[in-house]
Protein backbone atom coordinates (compact mmCIF):
# COMPACT_ATOMS: atom_id res chain seq x y z
CA UNK A 1 0.00 0.00 0.00
CA UNK A 2 2.87 2.40 0.73
CA UNK A 3 4.37 1.43 -2.62
CA UNK A 4 1.19 2.41 -4.47
CA UNK A 5 1.28 5.70 -2.59
CA UNK A 6 4.78 6.32 -3.99
CA UNK A 7 3.25 6.01 -7.47
CA UNK A 8 0.63 8.55 -6.44
CA UNK A 9 3.30 10.96 -5.23
CA UNK A 10 5.04 10.68 -8.60
CA UNK A 11 1.83 11.29 -10.50
CA UNK A 12 1.26 14.37 -8.34
CA UNK A 13 4.83 15.55 -8.88
CA UNK A 14 4.83 15.18 -12.66
CA UNK A 15 1.24 16.21 -13.46
CA UNK A 16 2.47 19.75 -14.04
CA UNK A 17 5.14 18.51 -16.46
CA UNK A 18 2.57 16.42 -18.36
CA UNK A 19 0.39 19.52 -18.71
CA UNK A 20 3.24 21.61 -20.13
CA UNK A 21 1.77 22.06 -23.60
CA UNK A 22 1.13 25.08 -25.75
CA UNK A 23 -2.62 24.95 -25.09
CA UNK A 24 -2.11 24.84 -21.31
CA UNK A 25 0.43 27.65 -21.41
CA UNK A 26 -1.91 29.77 -23.50
CA UNK A 27 -4.80 29.13 -21.11
CA UNK A 28 -2.82 30.61 -18.20
CA UNK A 29 -1.15 33.33 -20.26
CA UNK A 30 2.33 31.88 -19.87
CA UNK A 31 5.20 31.73 -22.32
CA UNK A 32 7.53 28.75 -22.46
CA UNK A 33 10.05 30.62 -20.32
CA UNK A 34 7.51 31.72 -17.69
CA UNK A 35 6.18 28.16 -17.48
CA UNK A 36 9.79 27.12 -16.98
CA UNK A 37 9.94 29.52 -14.03
CA UNK A 38 6.81 27.87 -12.62
CA UNK A 39 8.50 24.47 -12.92
CA UNK A 40 11.71 25.83 -11.42
CA UNK A 41 9.84 27.16 -8.36
CA UNK A 42 8.45 23.67 -7.85
CA UNK A 43 11.84 21.96 -8.21
CA UNK A 44 13.48 24.38 -5.77
CA UNK A 45 10.59 23.90 -3.37
CA UNK A 46 11.18 20.14 -3.52
CA UNK A 47 14.91 20.56 -2.91
CA UNK A 48 14.58 22.98 0.02
CA UNK A 49 11.74 21.15 1.72
CA UNK A 50 13.61 17.83 1.61
CA UNK A 51 15.81 19.35 4.31
CA UNK A 52 13.05 21.10 6.26
CA UNK A 53 10.56 18.24 6.18
CA UNK A 54 13.27 15.72 7.02
CA UNK A 55 13.32 17.12 10.55
CA UNK A 56 9.51 16.98 10.74
CA UNK A 57 9.53 13.38 9.53
CA UNK A 58 11.77 12.36 12.43
CA UNK A 59 9.05 13.66 14.73
CA UNK A 60 6.00 12.50 12.77
CA UNK A 61 7.45 9.08 11.86
CA UNK A 62 6.88 7.42 8.50
CA UNK A 63 3.15 6.75 8.46
CA UNK A 64 2.09 10.24 9.55
CA UNK A 65 4.59 11.83 7.16
CA UNK A 66 3.10 9.83 4.28
CA UNK A 67 -0.43 10.81 5.31
CA UNK A 68 0.37 14.52 5.72
CA UNK A 69 2.24 14.66 2.42
CA UNK A 70 -0.25 12.54 0.51
CA UNK A 71 -3.26 14.49 1.71
CA UNK A 72 -1.55 17.83 1.05
CA UNK A 73 -0.52 16.78 -2.47
CA UNK A 74 -4.03 15.46 -3.18
CA UNK A 75 -5.50 18.77 -2.04
CA UNK A 76 -3.03 20.80 -4.13
CA UNK A 77 -3.63 18.70 -7.26
CA UNK A 78 -7.39 18.72 -6.72
CA UNK A 79 -7.34 22.52 -6.51
CA UNK A 80 -5.31 22.77 -9.73
CA UNK A 81 -7.79 20.42 -11.42
CA UNK A 82 -10.69 22.58 -10.26
CA UNK A 83 -8.98 25.72 -11.57
CA UNK A 84 -8.71 24.16 -15.03
CA UNK A 85 -12.18 22.58 -14.91
CA UNK A 86 -13.86 25.89 -14.10
CA UNK A 87 -11.67 27.86 -16.54
CA UNK A 88 -10.49 30.06 -13.66
CA UNK A 89 -6.83 29.05 -14.03
CA UNK A 90 -4.17 31.71 -14.06
CA UNK A 91 -0.43 31.77 -13.68
CA UNK A 92 0.05 32.92 -10.09
CA UNK A 93 -2.36 30.48 -8.36
CA UNK A 94 -0.84 27.65 -10.39
CA UNK A 95 2.67 28.72 -9.36
CA UNK A 96 1.66 28.77 -5.65
CA UNK A 97 -0.18 25.43 -5.81
CA UNK A 98 2.74 23.78 -7.62
CA UNK A 99 5.12 25.15 -4.98
CA UNK A 100 2.91 23.70 -2.20
CA UNK A 101 2.50 20.39 -4.03
CA UNK A 102 6.24 19.95 -4.40
CA UNK A 103 6.96 20.99 -0.80
CA UNK A 104 4.45 18.42 0.49
CA UNK A 105 5.64 15.81 -2.01
CA UNK A 106 8.90 15.53 -0.08
CA UNK A 107 7.04 13.74 2.71
CA UNK A 108 6.60 10.83 0.29
CA UNK A 109 10.24 9.88 -0.03
CA UNK A 110 11.08 10.95 3.52
CA UNK A 111 8.22 8.97 5.05
CA UNK A 112 9.05 5.92 2.97
CA UNK A 113 12.71 6.02 4.02
CA UNK A 114 11.66 6.48 7.67
CA UNK A 115 9.48 3.37 7.42
CA UNK A 116 12.39 1.47 5.88
CA UNK A 117 14.66 2.37 8.78
CA UNK A 118 12.14 1.02 11.30
CA UNK A 119 11.10 -2.13 9.46
CA UNK A 120 14.41 -3.42 8.09
CA UNK A 121 17.77 -4.19 9.63
CA UNK A 122 20.84 -2.64 7.99
CA UNK A 123 21.73 -5.77 5.94
CA UNK A 124 18.16 -5.87 4.53
CA UNK A 125 17.96 -2.21 3.51
CA UNK A 126 19.86 -2.61 0.24
CA UNK A 127 17.23 -4.99 -1.15
CA UNK A 128 14.46 -2.74 0.04
CA UNK A 129 16.17 0.27 -1.53
CA UNK A 130 16.23 -1.62 -4.82
CA UNK A 131 12.49 -2.21 -4.53
CA UNK A 132 12.03 1.48 -3.74
CA UNK A 133 13.96 2.33 -6.92
CA UNK A 134 11.62 0.10 -8.95
CA UNK A 135 8.60 1.81 -7.40
CA UNK A 136 10.07 5.21 -8.26
CA UNK A 137 10.58 4.14 -11.88
CA UNK A 138 7.06 2.73 -12.06
CA UNK A 139 5.61 5.90 -10.55
CA UNK A 140 7.48 8.05 -13.03
CA UNK A 141 6.34 5.87 -15.92
CA UNK A 142 2.72 5.92 -14.70
CA UNK A 143 2.81 9.71 -14.35
CA UNK A 144 3.97 10.20 -17.93
CA UNK A 145 2.12 7.33 -19.63
CA UNK A 146 -1.25 7.48 -17.85
CA UNK A 147 -1.04 11.22 -17.33
CA UNK A 148 -0.37 11.75 -21.02
CA UNK A 149 -3.24 9.47 -21.97
CA UNK A 150 -5.66 11.24 -19.61
CA UNK A 151 -4.50 14.61 -20.91
CA UNK A 152 -5.22 13.60 -24.52
CA UNK A 153 -8.55 11.92 -23.82
CA UNK A 154 -10.10 14.03 -21.05
CA UNK A 155 -8.18 17.27 -20.73
CA UNK A 156 -5.65 18.86 -18.42
CA UNK A 157 -7.91 19.09 -15.35
CA UNK A 158 -8.21 15.31 -15.17
CA UNK A 159 -4.45 14.80 -15.09
CA UNK A 160 -4.51 16.51 -11.70
CA UNK A 161 -7.70 14.75 -10.60
CA UNK A 162 -6.08 11.39 -11.47
CA UNK A 163 -3.09 12.19 -9.26
CA UNK A 164 -5.32 13.39 -6.42
CA UNK A 165 -7.58 10.35 -6.68
CA UNK A 166 -4.70 7.88 -6.70
CA UNK A 167 -3.23 9.56 -3.63
CA UNK A 168 -6.52 9.51 -1.70
CA UNK A 169 -7.27 5.86 -2.46
CA UNK A 170 -3.77 4.69 -1.53
CA UNK A 171 -3.82 6.91 1.59
CA UNK A 172 -6.84 5.00 2.83
CA UNK A 173 -4.88 1.75 2.65
CA UNK A 174 -1.83 3.33 4.29
CA UNK A 175 -4.03 4.61 7.11
CA UNK A 176 -5.61 1.19 7.65
CA UNK A 177 -2.64 -1.13 7.07
CA UNK A 178 0.74 0.55 7.53
CA UNK A 179 2.42 0.71 10.94
CA UNK A 180 5.55 2.63 11.82
CA UNK A 181 7.21 -0.40 13.39
CA UNK A 182 6.78 -4.15 12.92
CA UNK A 183 4.51 -5.78 15.52
CA UNK A 184 7.36 -8.00 16.81
CA UNK A 185 9.52 -4.94 17.41
CA UNK A 186 6.67 -3.37 19.38
CA UNK A 187 6.32 -6.50 21.50
CA UNK A 188 10.07 -6.62 22.18
CA UNK A 189 10.14 -2.94 23.13
CA UNK A 190 7.24 -3.47 25.53
CA UNK A 191 9.04 -6.42 27.12
CA UNK A 192 12.27 -4.44 27.45
CA UNK A 193 10.45 -1.54 29.08
CA UNK A 194 8.60 -3.88 31.47
CA UNK A 195 5.14 -3.15 30.08
CA UNK A 196 4.51 -6.59 28.52
Judged on CB neighbours under 10 Å (0-12, 13-18, 19+), 88 is: exposed
Predicted confidence band of residue 195 (pLDDT cuts 50, 70, 90): low
Closest CA to 163 of 1, 3, 6, 2: 6
More confident residue, 73 or 145: 73
Buried b (16+ CB within 10 A) or exposed e, 9-35: bbbbbbbbebbbeeebbebbebeeeeb
Q: Note the pTM of the prediction, 2 decimals.
A: 0.85
pLDDT score of 190: 53
pLDDT score of 156: 93
Amino acid sequence: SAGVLVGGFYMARYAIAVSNTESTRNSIGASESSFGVLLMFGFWSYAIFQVINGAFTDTLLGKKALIVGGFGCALSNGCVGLLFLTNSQSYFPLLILNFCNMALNTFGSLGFVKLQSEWYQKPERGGFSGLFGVLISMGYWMALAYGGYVFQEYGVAYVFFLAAGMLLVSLLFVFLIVTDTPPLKLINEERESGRG
